[in-house]
Structure 1
Amino acid sequence: MKSPLVAVLTLSLVLAGCSGIRDSRINPFNWFGKSRQAEAITLVPAGGYGTSASDRRVLVDQVTRLEIRRTPEGAIISAAGLPPTQGWWDAELVAENHGLPVGGTVTYRFLVGEPVPGTAVASRVLTAESREVTAGAFLSNIALQDVRRIVVTGAGNSRSVNR
């Protein structure tokens, strides 16, 4: 019965002793040093990412849905598009004007990659639901400050949402 009590007392004395050796390497609170503000490091090129000449994606035929979902950090833009056949891939909402609003409007182009011509999947039409592709983008609260309207354009139509 006395040994657990002795162990607890010994451990409490040892831990209390650690507070007196603040700068010691024995103190586990000193093992990693003090935190400090880290410098932001980015891999984005100074001029931003340009569009590649080898990007062969095209505008989706129809933009069928556009939704804006608010988050604490900003907004998620979600769009659905309908290509003519199945097999379209690599969908992306590409911001025009580097994502900066023009007259309060931010415009995105809904790009998709074409399936390999002549393949079975490139000729299947089936239902609209089976052909639908979705893409999304994020706008921070700072970027949303001057935005009053968001537009997503396709080859045949565009959809917009106003604030």
Structure 2
Amino acid sequence: MIFRIFGAILLTVGLSGCSNGVSLNPLNWFGPDDGVEMVTLEPEEGWDFAGEDYRGPVAQVTRLSVERASGGYVIRAVGLPPRQGYWEADLVPENDEKPVDGVMSYTFVVAPPLWATAQSRPRAREIHVAHYVSDIRLGSASRIRVIGATNTLTAGR
């Protein structure tokens, strides 16, 4: 066994010195250095995706609860998209996370799957998300609303 390993190393070192035009050099097996420069289509300043949000509202908000936490509240919501594979869920605050008429509003957003997925049962499609809101940020709000594509749920704190 040791002779095979030693022989393979010796053969690789010996063939790396070959430069008679025959492609026996293992260093050139995956493309010879022909002076061609690879070019990319990426802009020099890079791609700017910071301003774009590719997520949309979840089809249906099925459950909402507001639970007391240290220094604020935790908003928990469950959404039901039309099929499996939705990801990157979040509760996006409306109105710069300021209460309007005593109601704090959030939109439940999700990213669609990148390929075709099965519909499956509702329990398998559920998406759970949570968001922390401090007492200071909540201010005088007495109700919290979570908005989906087809419905809205509201809970008191």
TM-score using structure 1 length = 0.63
Alignment pair present for 1:76 and 2:97 = no
- Residue 61 of structure 2 contacts residue 78 of structure 2 at CA under 8 Å; is this kept in 1? yes
Say what the alpha-carbon RMSD is for the aligned residues.
1.5
Equivalent pairs: percent with the same residue?
40
Q: Hey, what's the Cα distance between the residues in 1 that align with 2:53 and 2:132?
A: 22
Alignment pair present for 1:128 and 2:122 = yes
Q: Which residue of 1 aligns with 2:64?
A: 66
1:159, CA displacement in angstroms? 0.2
Alignment pair present for 1:142 and 2:107 = no
Give the count of matched residue pairs. 109
Alignment pair present for 1:162 and 2:150 = no
Letter in 1 for 2:128: T
Task: List gaps (5 residues or longer) in structure 2.
Answer: 1-48
SS in 1 for 2:100: coil
Task: List gaps (5 residues or longer) in structure 1.
Answer: 1-50
Q: Which residue of 2 aligns with 1:109?
A: 107
Letter in 1 for 2:120: L
Q: Which residue of 2 aligns with 1:38?
A: none
TM-score using structure 2 length = 0.66
Q: Deviations over 1:8-59 (max 9, x none)?
A: xxxxxxxxxxxxxxxxxxxxxxxxxxxxxxxxxxxxxxxxxxx944211010
